[in-house]
Structure 1
Amino acid sequence: MAQRVCIIGGGVVGLATAYALVRDGIDVTLVEARDALGSETSFANGGQLSYRYVTPLADAGVPWQALGWMLRGDSPLKLRPRLDPAQWRWMAAFIAACRTSVNRRNGAHLLRLALLSQTTLRIWREEDHLDGFEWRRNGKLVTFRSASHFAHARQRVADAVHQQVLGPNECTTLEPALAGVPFVGGIYTPDEEVADCHGFCLQLAARLRASGRCEFLLGRAVTAIEHADGAVHAINLGEQRVEVEHLVIAAGHRSVALALPGVRMPLYPLKGYSLTVPIDARHRAPELSITDYDRKVVYARIGEQLRVAAMVDIVGFDPAPDPRRLALIRRQAMETFPMAGDYDRAVEWAGMRPATPSGVPLIGASPYRNLWLNLGHGALGFTLACGSGRLLSEMIRQRTPSIDLQGLTPRAA
């Protein structure tokens, strides 16, 4: 049985994996290329812990819808074709997954993992008294501006116990900040949650340090992984060599650069953007988490801030924010919730979400007997992190996994 595990990646997925392993009595070394933990994709994401609304982006009709979006200046999706075989392979696999049957199958895999993640976070909060990251169970309301989109969504509600279909007046009664917004209806999930992902990363890191079982190597980029005879033996951090007993790659979209022969990592970064808008006593921010379905914008109140997040930019590996995309988010947010916060003091951010074409992450063993993957969570990294970390710890410890692993485990190249 494993005694020590090395994890590459100090975002929410890597930290949740480390926490699950330490809880299970395994020592951890966590390596992060940046000087600070949770400082890339986990830093200012949407903040919604959306456990029941986990439908993959790849669905029937999306390619045609995306073509229409590309002709609009306010499109929620932006595609910039590049002379990059990885981009074209990813897009081809994405289009192949855009079928109703495939979407529903992958959605079932995500839902199974998401509900495990919700249970796992509850256990950590209650048993370990893990707090300090603005967690709330505030519920989520997905709102629709288009009657046809609303009708389609109503037909696909599969859990009438946990999801409620509401008319426009019911939406406004439930969330008064929606008054005057031209929505035709919504789908409400009462048990959805919200939290500060970066704050969660910092709390996990503090608990890991206090445990005495986790060593952090920050500001140390992995330059090579040594392997032979079907196993990995060490990682190189420049001139330093660190031997490993077990190795987990959880470095988001940067994981691709670490792929070994025979290890399949069908990842591509989907750039997203957010605004963090300060709230004071004069503002009327929504208390519920809101998803504006037609504009693909999410709103989450995190303490005394409103997080506004949106956009899917398939434009390569450049993480630099596009000022025009941020301006669009700001304009749409001010149109929808003009009194929600001080938009003049909003903090802008862009992050690279590591996505598989199917939208389902890769969690589990690789063709190398001591190399493990935990990556490809896309926009659901925060939502799925705790369950993903728990599953990987169970696999490394050779325990029966808490859920069926069908559809979640990596495949060989």
Structure 2
Amino acid sequence: MRIAVIGAGIVGLASAWALREDGHEVVVIDRHAQTGMETSHANGGQLSYRYIAPLADPDILAKIPAWLMRRDAPVRFRPCFDPRQWQWLLSFLKACNQNDKLRSVGNLLPLSLYSQSLVHAMVERHGLDFDFVRNGKLVVHRDPATFAAARRLIASSADLASEQRALDADECVALEPALARLRPHLQGGIHTASEDAGDCLKLCRELETRLCEGERPAEFVLGDEATALEAGDGRVRAVLLRERGRLAVDQLVIAAGASAPALLAPLGVRLPIYPVKGYSISVALGEQGAAAAPRVSVTDFQRKIVYAPLAHQLRVAGMADIVGADASVQPDRVATLIRETREAFGDWVADAQISTWAGLRPATPTGRPIIDRAGAVNLWINVGHGALGFTLAMGSGGLLADLLAGRHTAVPHEGFLLANATPQGWRKPLRA
């Protein structure tokens, strides 16, 4: 069967990988001339399989007023004349309750662990080179209240409790000596030894290379934008491309991230997805940096910043700017990342070579992706992964392949249906 996948980020490529494994003829379409050029390009680098708590959290509500007054706040909001922004925000605020948070964690954890098993199997079988390391993750807390909440979350899940342990501040520094400068500010941390890290862009390029090999090489249509979908009699017949024209398909998968809502709206499919901009810096590790940087992936919970050691660089990522479709790199946000990295790990950061990036994470209000059929019998969507795209990509691709084949899914899929993508009781359609 000929299946087109729109989107050559990590989610689209993972979908293409799983579908070709099922024996399908796969065509990957992306408006960029290379794979992985949007949200996958320089993300945080952490594969956080057991740390999948959504941004929608009851604790965030009390912080919003103070964040609105701070230019360096972890979450920043700029109102737009866009009803979709306001509808998404209202739905997001509705999701900031303990029941929806625990529901999202309960849905995401099986998918995340499935993704981990697929990544490990892929690395073992194919030896992909993407700076992959099984170095564990430490989430550090500066606030006693959030540290207590994190311990309660572990206690609520047997799966989490079996892999995670709470450390006091001294134990955090003993585990990761690079945190010594932060010791006076720490209440403790949650350590998960089984977490991984890697370079998402490198994995995109590795998947592209391998997809083009073998008996059923995938076709890549890069540098050409899908402008519309040709549909009739309940089916998608073709993708209309700006340069190539009409591309006939048997099945179509939309994995186009934040661009997906506009593409699907003409078919009457309303996706509750809005872009949440994140930033990263990649700090080159010279001799001094290599000695001072962390070996374990670190997340600063209060600052909403992650630190992932990747071969010869330290990837630092964070922030959540709800500012519409603006992917520009804002100097003050980059300055905040540099300042926080320097304060955490040393003055060597000021002299290091640093590259910067910003990307639009396609987020649902609940933090759960949408993996479902919608709008036509042969139209599938795999979108809305927010900050967890790298972590959930392989599992999402596997789940999509199961659904398309009509077989029993490897993990429960009800939580990822389009109808369940917004908080319980919130079912008002979004306007295009």
Q: TM-score, normalised by structure 1?
A: 0.97
Q: What is aligned with 1:142? A: 139
Q: What is aligned with 2:297? A: 289
Paired residue for 1:157, among 150, 154, 169? 154
Paired residue for 1:261, among 262, 267, 284? 267
RMSD between superposed Cα atoms in Å: 1.4
Structure 2 unmatched runs, 5+: 421-428
1:54-101 CA distances to partner (integer Å, 9 max, x unpaired)?
011112132331222111232001000111001011001101111100
In the aligned structure 2, how far is the partner of 1:364 from the partner of 1:77? 29
**Mapping of 1:46-57 within 5 angstroms?**
46-57=44-55
Deviation at 1:344, TM superposition (A): 3.7
In the aligned structure 2, how far is the partner of 1:173 from the partner of 1:339? 21
**Mapping of 1:360-371 within 5 angstroms?**
360-371=368-379
1:107-137 CA distances to partner (integer Å, 9 max, x unpaired)?
111111101100111121223x231101111
Q: Is the 8 A contact 2:181 2:343 kept in 1?
A: no
**Mapping of 1:3-14 within 5 angstroms?**
3-14=1-12
Amino acid at match of 1:171: C
Amino acid at match of 1:237: L
Q: What is aligned with 2:41? A: 43
Q: What is aligned with 2:248? A: 243
Q: What is aligned with 2:197? A: 194
Q: Is the 8 A contact 1:285 1:341 kept in 2?
A: no
Deviation at 1:320, TM superposition (A): 0.7
**Mapping of 1:259-408 within 5 angstroms?**
259=264, 260-283=266-289, 284-338=292-346, 341=349, 344-408=352-416
Identity of aligned residues (%): 45
Deviation at 1:4, TM superposition (A): 1.4
Q: What is aligned with 1:173? A: 174
In the aligned structure 2, how far is the partner of 1:64 from the partner of 1:351? 27
Structure 1 residue ranges (4+ consecutive) displaced by more than 3 angstroms after TM superposition: 339-344
Instruction: Classify the secondary structure of the residue corresponding to 2:390.
Output: helix
**Mapping of 1:51-200 within 5 angstroms?**
51-127=49-125, 129-158=126-155, 159-181=160-182, 182-200=185-203
In the aligned structure 1, how far is the partner of 2:288 from the partner of 2:101? 43
In the aligned structure 2, how far is the partner of 1:208 from the partner of 1:75? 41
Instruction: Classify the secondary structure of the residue corresponding to 2:419.
Output: coil
Instruction: Classify the secondary structure of the residue corresponding to 1:73.
Output: coil
Q: Is the 8 A contact 1:285 1:340 kept in 2?
A: no
Q: Is the 8 A contact 2:299 2:307 kept in 1?
A: yes
Q: How many residues align?
A: 410
Relative to its length, the structure with more helix (as a share) is 2
Amino acid at match of 1:143: V
Amino acid at match of 2:119: L
Q: Is the 8 A contact 2:6 2:254 kept in 1?
A: yes
1:274-293 CA distances to partner (integer Å, 9 max, x unpaired)?
00001122221100000001
Instruction: Classify the secondary structure of the residue corresponding to 2:382.
Output: strand
In the aligned structure 2, how far is the partner of 1:169 from the partner of 1:64? 29
Amino acid at match of 1:203: E
The yes-or-no answer on 1:222 pairing with 2:246 is no
Q: Is the 8 A contact 2:122 2:128 kept in 1?
A: no
Q: Is the 8 A contact 1:306 1:340 kept in 2?
A: no
In the aligned structure 1, how far is the partner of 2:151 from the partner of 2:351? 33
Amino acid at match of 1:257: A
In the aligned structure 2, how far is the partner of 1:147 from the partner of 1:402? 38
Deviation at 1:341, TM superposition (A): 4.8
Q: Is the 8 A contact 1:130 1:203 kept in 2?
A: no
